[in-house]
Structure 1
């Protein structure tokens, strides 16, 4: 997310760039607008054709999230990696007040939360985010409750399957993105910037 690979030219953003002009809650209110349905309407809801929204996401330590070797890594923003965008779609089968979303770093993978040993773990499941959003199921393991958190410029992503566990990054660079509880040593707050689809060729 540090750089945008535009053909042969790599464009570096300004260090003090403004991440966005709206809060995450404002983004989500717009995303969920008109999608709240009455229970009796849920079974006959038409399949959505809406394309995922695209976001550049980086943590409060200025590490960007990239997909490499089928793994999400948080790396220093001064790297020369092409910009990684996260696809976001609403999960309309959960409480919209909690702003539940699906998150995907590629067309073939979606973030999922599973239990591994004594604690939840983040994994990349081979699922297409658009197909998931059309299933009409709660899909808690693929869902994150999102909100403005920490400041008006940052947000957090809480596992719907494992309440109290949040998308997180290590303080050290080049470590896998995982799940952690807030109040520990890991970063659980993220900056974001919305991007337009026509500007990028997605993996």
Structure 2
């Protein structure tokens, strides 16, 4: 009778050796999968606004907005000068809290947008920018973003980059728009914001829609 080999010798040992590379490959794939899942997911860009809305904006004294020397000013326009009134184009900005009704505003079909860089005494300017692309910049669009608030048929627009500072006009006519944190006899913080086809603010105004179904409407306070 021939002698038997030691346990594990012969065909059984070959199967164990064959399983080792397969086990090592499975472990390698598992580690690779864990590493991929550990990497932070790239943030998806904000969607481009579906539509740019066109409105007329006048201050509480019914002063119209128009361009003078490259600046947006507010004044009463009469006769042929009424054609100089600039319509305001706006889109909601989903990069900020929807409950605050954030929006970006501009003139000339949204090719020049209102902007305010952060600072101790912020100023207002017009910047050449595509109003439809700005919300895609996320938090970087703060300088172009304003929060709307509504009361008794009037709107205020607070700078997202400069909390507590509001879009304003001067009580004097034909002065540039600016920013103010004070409501006094020299400034006007309240605006009518109405559909462009309405004849006059205060006579046919319609409150501007929020612009997207997922944003709540403003409640009168």
After TM superposition, is the score higher than 0.5?
yes
Aligned CA distance change for structure 1 residues 51 and 42 (closer, same or farther; 3 Å): farther
1:129 alignment counterpart:
131
CA drift of 1:137 comes to 3.8
Relative contact order, higher structure (CA 8 A, sep 6+)? 1
Matches within 5 A, 1:1-203: 43-44=43-44, 47-78=47-78, 80-82=81-83, 83-106=85-108, 107-115=110-118, 118-149=120-151, 151=152, 153-184=153-184, 185-195=186-196
1:113-169: CA deviation from partner (whole Å, max 9, x where unpaired): 1256x51100111111112123344521111000113x2x11000001111110000
CA distance in 2, matches of 1:147, 1:42: 33
Alignment check: 8 A CA contact 1:57 1:65 kept? yes
CA drift of 1:49 comes to 5.0
CA distance in 2, matches of 1:136, 1:61: 34
1:100-123: CA deviation from partner (whole Å, max 9, x where unpaired): 11010124211111256x511001
Larger helix share, 1 or 2? 2
Q: TM-score when scaled to structure 2?
A: 0.63
**What residue ranges of structure 2 are gaps of 5+ in the alignment?**
1-40, 198-221
CA distance in 2, matches of 1:193, 1:129: 19
Aligned CA distance change for structure 1 residues 86 and 59 (closer, same or farther; 3 Å): same
Aligned CA distance change for structure 1 residues 49 and 104 (closer, same or farther; 3 Å): same
Larger Rg: 2
**What residue ranges of structure 1 are gaps of 5+ in the alignment?**
1-40, 197-203
2:24 alignment counterpart:
none
Larger strand share, 1 or 2? 1
Q: TM-score when scaled to structure 1?
A: 0.68
CA distance in 2, matches of 1:96, 1:136: 13
